[in-house]
Chain A
């Protein structure tokens, strides 16, 4: 009886881990897409409405929900409150605060840092060029993430369930 309960628990936990990793895998391209939307909208806000940076960032999240919207909102709030910090420092701080909910890897985080370093230090035209470049880079990452999602989602599920079964068979 005890063995049965133990093996069921092992099976449940390993399946949970597998499904969790699969969902993280699915979440990443979605978040990248949202970031691209936000940066595109930020570009429009900078070029056409010429808003101050924190307002432009806050407005760029319109219609987007979830961790990405929260990230941009927090950046906007901190920009408004701490005038002494540069956008890069603020993005760094917010990224480290939201490490758990934003599923981003090293290259995307680097692009976001560099984005912070170049925000608000050039004129509109240069910013437009630069933001287009950032969007292009992020789109490349998104394609890569989509490819990885298609490959890995199923694998993580199978591995989770079968790994649990293997542990149960080996231990019992």
Chain B
């Protein structure tokens, strides 16, 4: 854990925005939306893992079983 995951998410965000612009300029709006969705999904996978960790920690701290 650390700052690197944040930078990764930021990098994916920037790249997805570039993809979106490039595809939109080429007239492929559907592909642009698909691309945004794919980027969102990838980031969501990372975030969900982190959230799972967070909930586990909360359970451990408050002894909720």
User: B22 touching A155 by the CB < 8 A rule?
Assistant: yes
User: A169 touching B12 by the CB < 8 A rule?
Assistant: yes
User: A155 touching B11 by the CB < 8 A rule?
Assistant: no
Q: Is A140 an interface position by the 8 A CB rule?
A: no
Question: Number of contact residues on B: which range applies?
Answer: 10 to 19
On chain B, the residues within 8 Å of A170 by CB distance are 8, 12, 42
Q: Is B1 an interface position by the 8 A CB rule?
A: no
On chain A, the residues within 8 Å of B11 by CB distance are 165, 169
Question: Number of contact residues on A: which range applies?
Answer: 10 to 19
Given contact pairs A169-B8, A170-B42, A151 touches B26 in the complex (Cβ within 8 A):
yes
User: B15 touching A154 by the CB < 8 A rule?
Assistant: no
> Is chain B's interface secondary structure helix, strand, loop, or mixed overall?
helix
User: A154 touching B25 by the CB < 8 A rule?
Assistant: yes
On chain B, the residues within 8 Å of A158 by CB distance are 18-19, 22
Q: Is A159 an interface position by the 8 A CB rule?
A: yes
Q: In angstroms, how far is the closest chain B Cβ from the Cβ of A154? A: 7
Q: Is A37 an interface position by the 8 A CB rule?
A: no
User: B23 touching A165 by the CB < 8 A rule?
Assistant: no
On chain A, the residues within 8 Å of B15 by CB distance are 162, 165-166, 169
Interface residues of B (CB under 8 A from A): 8, 11-12, 15-16, 18-19, 22-23, 25-28, 39, 42
